[in-house]
Copies of this chain bind each other. A is one copy, B any other.
Amino acid sequence: MTGKVHQCYKNSKKCYLISVPLKCNLPSKLVKEIRSYHSVVQLIKEAVVDNNGPLKNTTWTELANFVDDYGSRLAGTKNLENAIDFLLKRLKSAKLDNVHGEEATVPRWVRGHESATLIAPRRKQLSMLGLGNSVGTPKKGITAFVVVVSSFEELKKKASEVSGKIVVFNENYISYGETVPYRSRSAAEASKYGAVATLIRSVGPFSLNTPHTGQQDYGDAKPIPTACITIEDAEMLQRLYNRGKILKIHLRMNAHLEEPAISRNVVAEISGRTEPEKVVLVSGHIDSWDVGQGAMDDGGGAFISWKSLEVLRHLGLRPRRTIRAVLWTAEEEGYFGAQSYLKAHQNEIDNLNAVIESDEGTFTPTGLMFHGTKRAACIMQEIVKQLKPFNATILEVSKDPVDSDIELFQNKGVPGISLRNDNERYFWFHHTQADTMTVEDPLALDLGTAVFSAVTFILADISAELPKASKMYYM
């Protein structure tokens, strides 16, 4: 998952919830129709969630095999393309329709060797990860004195001290949405004042000496090397600095950008029975950062998305309209796969009924997050009631687009849906070496697959399409 996030329970400034239940006035015929999908939901449950269900545990097992075999999947790497080849084969073996890759040009950032060493007042290796899109240091590294600040405001106040120094940002973690600007913009801000590099306290609420990488953007500023360090080391540097100790750090990074590469979004469908040109899109992203296994961000989301199509195929269910799974490439560097897709498919936006994504964790599902018009939210509210067998009946309605890649489509008025799940610890693992299968739970993944199977089928099959918002009118 890239920069923008909606973790409302963490007081993100970017997320505004409308209290539910909404007061709705849906035609009783429509309500009745939605309730009639009860039997489909039951079939899905029997296949995926119940003991001895033929597809039970398969999402976890297939995801484990996949991330164990391919590991992390950074945009621009041959490894990501191998993983995509594997998945295309796998989707064909599931006998899905129209399985293919759609090319997208993606950045190719290479981390290379990297290290940060405190050399005064005493020698200590600092656990670190270079930030995406960072430039490297000269070959021999940079050795510089250090200024520690805890905010952009403090940086401004200390502007005159910064030239020629490494700036350490020891910002406090509030929520991801509110704190992540320190990752995205610290280099740009400090570079303006002549800093030679920045080291950011990792953006996360809890650490076991855990660095968290992620994308950053220089804007118009002169590029300087930038990396994250751990909460523990940032706090220690702050304490030493506050005591008046002279801090010196040696930073070495071979990070660099190579020529852009060609990657692919992975597409597979269950073609619609009567209106195949109309599409409900369900998605996750297939790329990851180059740490851990990319199991949580976003292996889990990608797998529950395509597995939901396999479930429906297994049950022989073909809806009125088309369900299209898209596994986006190069999400982490800024929705590159989704941008390419939008460009190639811009004439089909009117036929896009809904965009669904899971890129905020595949822990135990609790319901759905939704962005769209009130009438659409009312329909969704009736649909989530059908998720009772999965104990996932909460609908949260957001004034802002939900989830990541699918923002682009919501900005054009398409209703957006995201998996709501017990992701309180999401940012403990996010963009770290700890993003592995150990985070994922078989039952939670079964429930995620089941929820997406049910929601995509109902949305693609009911007589009423979700109304779109005009570009001018949101909620």
Q: Are A71 and B209 in contact (CB under 8 A)?
A: no
Chain B residue numbers with a CB within 8 Å of A121 are 69
Contact A433–B124 (Cβ < 8 Å): no
Q: A208-B428, A209-B210, A209-B292 given. 17 additional CB < 8 A pairs?
A: A65-B239, A68-B240, A71-B124, A127-B433, A207-B208, A208-B208, A208-B210, A208-B432, A208-B433, A209-B433, A209-B436, A232-B437, A235-B436, A235-B437, A235-B438, A236-B437, A239-B437
Would you mind naming 5 contact pairs between A and B with Cβ atoms under 8 Å apart?
A70-B122, A208-B208, A208-B432, A209-B436, A232-B434
Q: CA–CA, A75 to B322, complex, Å? A: 67
Residue among A68, A127, A240, A292 having the largest count of chain B Cβ atoms under 10 Å: A68
In the complex, what residues of B have CB within 8 A of residue A210's CB? 208-209, 434
Instruction: Find residues 167-213 in chain A having any chain B CB closer than 8 Å to their own CB.
Output: 207-210
Known contacts A71-B122, A231-B438, A429-B208; is A65 also within 8 Å of B243 by CB? yes
The complex places the Cα of A114 from the Cα of B429 at a distance, in Å, of 25
Chain A interface size range: 20 to 34
Bound Cα distance from A70 to B236, whole angstroms: 12
A80 within 8 A of B: no
B-side contacts of A69, CB under 8 Å: 121-122
What are the interface flags for A356-380 relative to B under an 8 Å C-beta threshold, 1 for contact and 0 otherwise? 0000000000000000000000000
Which residue from chain B places its CB closest to the CB of A233 in the assembled complex? B436
Q: Given A232-B438, A434-B232, is A68 in contact with B207 using a C-beta cutoff of 8 Å?
A: no
Output the least CB separation between A81 and chain B (Å): 15
Given A127-B433, A208-B432, A209-B432, A239 and B64 touching (CB < 8 A)? yes
The contact string, 1 if C-beta is below 8 Å from chain B, for chain A 414-434, is 000000000000001100111
What chain B residues lie within 8 Å of A208 (beta carbons)? 207-208, 210, 428-429, 432-434
Q: Name the distance in Å between A148's Cβ and chain B's nearest Cβ.
A: 13
Chain B's closest residue to A429 (CB) is B208
Q: Which residues of chain B are near A127, meaning CB under 8 Å?
A: 433
The 5 closest A-B pairs by CB, nearest first: A208-B434, A209-B433, A208-B208, A232-B436, A209-B434
**Closest chain B residue to A123, Cβ basis:** B71
